[in-house]
Structure 1
């Protein structure tokens, strides 16, 4: 789910919680980490900082810390993978993704319950995001319709041969 108001929908929710921050070891991730650390220091937010280098590190660190934290922030990592499938978090775990890399996994984008995306979004990108119903429509009903049309055309063809 895309967060439109980061202060209300993100920061106010984690300000009283212990937070696990997993940060990619690149320039964007480290700069975002420094900014977030300053905000946490001003508001006395308890956090643990864990550097990750790849997807395997992300899974390993998540598994080793998942019992201690219910709020996790992923800085410049995790946006391009299906986090619910890869990490398999408990239902009460909230994952906030701040990622400058593209593309963003659509499962993360349309997830309504556990994964929250904090992205800089301009009008051009907003128009490129496909509608949920267009992506996840029921293909079984489409296949049934096409089978019916196929069967009808083959019946017509057999009738024409007689």
Structure 2
């Protein structure tokens, strides 16, 4: 998993270098301080993920999902999660959607539960979950349906919203 650590460090460092204090202040204020911000633009986040995938072309399914999890987490102990890192995780999953499996629904569930903002939850639902579910067939689709049924009864509003979107694939 050295490549995953290196890719996460590359993305984190690049996003910090692309950041601007005034954007960071605006993002943190807009999100109510629940997430930290480097102040990198959405375009910089997308470009950084693209560059990371070019630099680390051998990331397989496990590498992609572990990298997404590393980016979703906090950059160092005691710090807050960073909006741009989490957005990079969403972009990574969007770009590598064809690699995702029904077993990744648990990871997506964790991301949705901890998104802290619709700015992260909505693209997870519409640009990751929806196409993932649309590509599933047979037993994988049945297993995903069981997960979505559980989400429908969950108190978390993001999961209920995801279950509604996922229900469109029945």
TM-score, length basis structure 1: 0.32
Instruction: Choose between structure 1 and 2 for higher RCO, CA contacts under 8 A separated by at least 6 residues.
Output: 1
Higher Rg of the two aligned structures: 1
TM-score, length basis structure 2: 0.31
